[in-house]
């Protein structure tokens, strides 16, 4: 794990202790990525704040998971793919949608697939997205606002995907049923 600790509410630096205690109280455990982010309390706070903001976008819960899982797939983040698969199941997202996102393949629902392809273009192109990809997203019924909200979701995943990679974070046992390796 490159020497990065997984903090608890007791071991975390000031500024992260209360945040981890609240997370553990809500979930019954602390996701390892957040335990690692606690080493830099501002990073943990930034992640939590941005996550709350992303949840307030005009994208539906299913659409937000499509963005988060697509970015995590492209960034080859084993932790986030497991965690978001776990969340998606609990949100009642259809198994074929989750399976397609985990495989990096097309989603049968054309609208969600357009979002999936656009998000992939944002991540792979590092924001340099051809006009044709934006047009395809808009043609699928999304808005310019949605196109920019995807950027917010990708930024959110940079915080966790990169933390997991740098700190060598592995998925929690709670995610055992959704462990993932990039195909």
Domain 60-161: give its CATH architecture. Answer: Up-down Bundle (1.20)
Residue spans of alpha helices (H) in 38-143: 41-55, 61-74, 78-90, 95-103, 110-124, 131-139
When pLDDT is cut at 50, 70 and 90, the band that residue 32 belongs to is very high
What pLDDT does residue 161 have?
98
What pLDDT does residue 84 have?
98
DSSP for residue 91: T
Q: Residue 100 pLDDT > 60, yes or no?
A: yes
**Mean pLDDT on 20-35:** 97
41-74 confidence digits (pLDDT tens): 999 999 999 999 999 999 999 999 999 999 999 9
Q: Residue 35 pLDDT > 80, yes or no?
A: yes
What pLDDT does residue 3 have?
81
Cβ atoms 157, 71 nearer than 8 A: yes
Domain boundaries, the chain: 60-161
Q: Residue 162 pLDDT > 90, yes or no?
A: yes
**Mean pLDDT on 138-148:** 98
Cβ atoms 97, 62 nearer than 8 A: yes
Q: Residue 149 pLDDT > 70, yes or no?
A: yes
Q: Distance between CA 63 and CA 146 in Å, rounded?
A: 10
Q: Distance between CA 82 and CA 172 in Å, rounded?
A: 9
What pLDDT does residue 71 have?
98
Backbone dihedral region for residue 109 (phi beyond 0: left; psi -120 to 50: alpha; all else: beta): beta
Q: Residue 2 pLDDT > 80, yes or no?
A: no
**Mean pLDDT on 125-152:** 98
């Amino acid at each position: 794990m490159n020497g990065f600790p997984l903090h608890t509410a007791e071991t975390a630096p000031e500024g992260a202790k209360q945040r981890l205690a609240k997370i553990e109280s809500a979930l019954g455990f602390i996701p390892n990525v957040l335990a690692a982010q606690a080493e830099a309390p501002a990073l943990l706070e930034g992640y939590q704040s941005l996550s709350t903001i992303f949840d307030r976008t005009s994208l539906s819960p299913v659409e937000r998971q499509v963005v988060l899982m697509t970015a995590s797939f492209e960034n080859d983040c084993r932790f986030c793919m497991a965690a978001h698969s776990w969340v998606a199941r609990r949100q009642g997202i259809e198994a074929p949608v989750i399976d397609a996102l985990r495989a990096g393949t097309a989603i049968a629902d054309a609208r969600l697939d357009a979002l999936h392809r656009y998000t992939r273009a944002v991540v792979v192109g590092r924001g340099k997205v051809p006009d044709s990809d934006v047009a395809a997203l808009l043609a699928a019924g999304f808005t310019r606002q949605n196109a920019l909200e995807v950027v917010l979701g990708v930024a959110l995943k940079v915080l966790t995907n990169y933390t997991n990679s740098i700190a060598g974070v592995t998925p929690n046992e709670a995610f055992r049923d959704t462990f993932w390796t990039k195909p």
